[in-house]
Structure 1
Amino acid sequence: MHGTALVTGASSGLGAEFARQLAALGHDVVLVARSGERLTALAERLTTDHAVRAHVLVQDLAEPDAARRVAGELDRRGLDVDLLVNNAGFGTCGRFEEISGDRDHDQLMVNVVALVGLTHELLPGMLRRGGGAVVNVASNAAFQPSPYFAVYGASKTFVLNFGLALRQEYRRRGIRVLTLCPGPVETAFFDTIGTRRAAVTGAMNTPEPVVRAALRGLERDSGYVAPGFGNALGAHLTPRRPRTLVAAVAERVTRKVLGPTEGATAQAGRAA
């Protein structure tokens, strides 16, 4: 039997798919998200389908002490986590001055603060037990500045660099660290962000192959995985260009999130 995996943002999308695939591999799972009803329904399915233990832990990761609360509940239940999947996250898009500061604050609490906090809480136990793994979910937005997704893109760049740094620190100490950098995936992310135009590249993947690629990369001890040929190509080539040029090119791609009228206005303004 494998150990126990904790998956954040497990109520839907990539998180639920991580839970399903890990349960199919024999992992017990701890499901963390805000939606208790959806977590409970998923836990029941996983227990029935795969004969594993599935634990539900309801927690809003935007709360300042979220990681400490999760760790305290794990201790109370006597659960040791061998694989941490930091999947929870959401995005904002549009002109920076028009985005709620409170919303961006919550975004950073979930995408960055809770991710680092949970890693702080759970990685030392993995070291004491002699091994473990961390999967951090970033985005293809991690590889370049992302105008109109400024805070989201920056948060995912943090996740990528954080994961790569941790991998170097712990790869000889029995801990594997993988960063997953998918392109647009057919999930509730686009309902939360408020527009499907946020899938600026147009192409949309599904959760199943993305998670499969992540688990395959973890098995191979890859540093990061960017599923899909075009996504992988961009991940390898984009960082090799001047950063200001990359930002300018990225703006031409991401401005479509503003809609056709505003995008045309922005282009006309630059031409003038």
Structure 2
Amino acid sequence: MARSTALVTGATSGLGAEFARQLARSQHNLVLVARDVSRLEAKAARLRQDFGGDVEVLPADLLTDDGVASVAARLADRGRPVELLVNNAGFGLVTAFEDSTAAEETDHLRILVRTPMQLMHAALEPMLERGSGRIINVSSVAGFIPRGSYGAAKAWGISFSRFANLRYGPRGVHVMALCPGFVHTEFHRRMGANLGRIPKWMWLNPDQVVREGLADSARGKSVSIPSRRYSTLIALSRLVPDRLAAAAGSRGR
């Protein structure tokens, strides 16, 4: 049986690296996207050794027009179809909105909203022509609560994924927002967040997040919130005043 191809952005660390590992294990060919060429090559070599299959390396800075264009061109290539796009690349800002520069906030919005939108747009046309395909937008539970520009950007991904799944699901293309809470990855350490106030029970492991996300995507869901504890928390957050939800969401920032 022919292997399908998955393209993963931000593939060298955190959830992106875990997506690559689990997809390779389930017999997918891969296109790995990130800025660091040496880390990409090392990741690709390890995946080929452990699981076989084709692993293509695509170095790209997704904060640049050229970087986005190169990935969009790969997604639009009918001769080498991509069956699954995982929009995972991103970063957070540790500073409050009023303390960040406008340039920092603009880059933040670009990597979390503009870039995944452009890549979805590139992937959709060939997927719709084939009548099959999946897109996973890595969002966050922060998208359900008042949590600065990060939460606002992640809310866009949730809303658009819900719309796109309704619109394109009947044509064979399913779009889903994956919304984890705190995950044991490099993400918070890279942004310099204070993690001391986060209870141990709020932490999830990357393998669980990706495993549940892939399963929910295969079922055609539009939103996936890994773990029962976070599903319950988000349901409860809709019942409390914004002030309380925002206070809970400020942990770790």
Query: When the two structures are superposed, what TM-score results if normalisation uses the length of structure 2?
Result: 0.92
In the alignment, what sits opposite 1:253?
248
Distance in 2 of aligned mates of 1:156 and 1:74: 23
Give SS of 2:91's match.
coil
Give SS of 2:176's match.
strand
Question: Which amino acid is the alignment partner of residue 102 of structure 1?
Answer: A
1:167 paired to 2:162: no
Per the TM alignment, residue 132 of structure 1 is displaced from its structure 2 partner at its CA by 0.5
In the alignment, what sits opposite 2:91?
90
Is the Cα–Cα contact under 8 Å of residues 63 and 109 in structure 1 kept in the other structure?
no
Is the Cα–Cα contact under 8 Å of residues 47 and 53 in structure 1 kept in the other structure?
yes
Per the TM alignment, residue 188 of structure 1 is displaced from its structure 2 partner at its CA by 1.3
Distance in 1 of aligned mates of 2:196 and 2:157: 20
Taking structure 1 as reference, are residues 46 and 220 closer, same or farther at Cα in structure 2, changes over 3 Å only? Answer: same
1:67-105 deviation digits (Å, cap 9, x = unpaired)? 322123566795321100001111113332212322221
Superposed CA RMSD: 2.1
Paired residues for 1:61-72 under 5 Å: 61-72=62-73
Give SS of 2:195's match.
helix
In the alignment, what sits opposite 2:234?
235
In the alignment, what sits opposite 2:190?
192
The percentage of counterpart residues that share the same residue type is 39
Is the Cα–Cα contact under 8 Å of residues 182 and 210 in structure 1 kept in the other structure?
yes
Give the count of matched residue pairs.
Answer: 251
Unaligned runs of 5+ in 1: 259-272
Distance in 1 of aligned mates of 2:154 and 2:141: 8
1:143 paired to 2:144: yes
1:217 paired to 2:212: no
Distance in 1 of aligned mates of 2:130 and 2:77: 18
Structure 1 or 2, whichever has the larger Rg, is: 1
Is the Cα–Cα contact under 8 Å of residues 59 and 66 in structure 1 kept in the other structure?
yes
Is the Cα–Cα contact under 8 Å of residues 180 and 226 in structure 1 kept in the other structure?
yes
Give SS of 1:172's match.
helix
In the alignment, what sits opposite 2:151?
153
1:110 paired to 2:105: no
Taking structure 1 as reference, are residues 236 and 251 closer, same or farther at Cα in structure 2, changes over 3 Å only? Answer: closer
Per the TM alignment, residue 255 of structure 1 is displaced from its structure 2 partner at its CA by 4.6
Deviates more, 1:230-239 or 1:67-76: 67-76
In the alignment, what sits opposite 2:207?
208
Taking structure 1 as reference, are residues 224 and 73 closer, same or farther at Cα in structure 2, changes over 3 Å only? Answer: closer
Taking structure 1 as reference, are residues 199 and 121 closer, same or farther at Cα in structure 2, changes over 3 Å only? Answer: farther
Is the Cα–Cα contact under 8 Å of residues 145 and 246 in structure 2 kept in the other structure?
no
Distance in 1 of aligned mates of 2:133 and 2:196: 35
Question: Which amino acid is the alignment partner of residue 153 of structure 1?
Answer: G
Is the Cα–Cα contact under 8 Å of residues 76 and 122 in structure 2 kept in the other structure?
no
Question: Which amino acid is the alignment partner of residue 193 of structure 2?
Answer: T
Per the TM alignment, residue 238 of structure 1 is displaced from its structure 2 partner at its CA by 2.3
Taking structure 1 as reference, are residues 94 and 42 closer, same or farther at Cα in structure 2, changes over 3 Å only? Answer: same
Per the TM alignment, residue 180 of structure 1 is displaced from its structure 2 partner at its CA by 0.4
Give SS of 1:52's match.
coil
1:50 paired to 2:51: yes
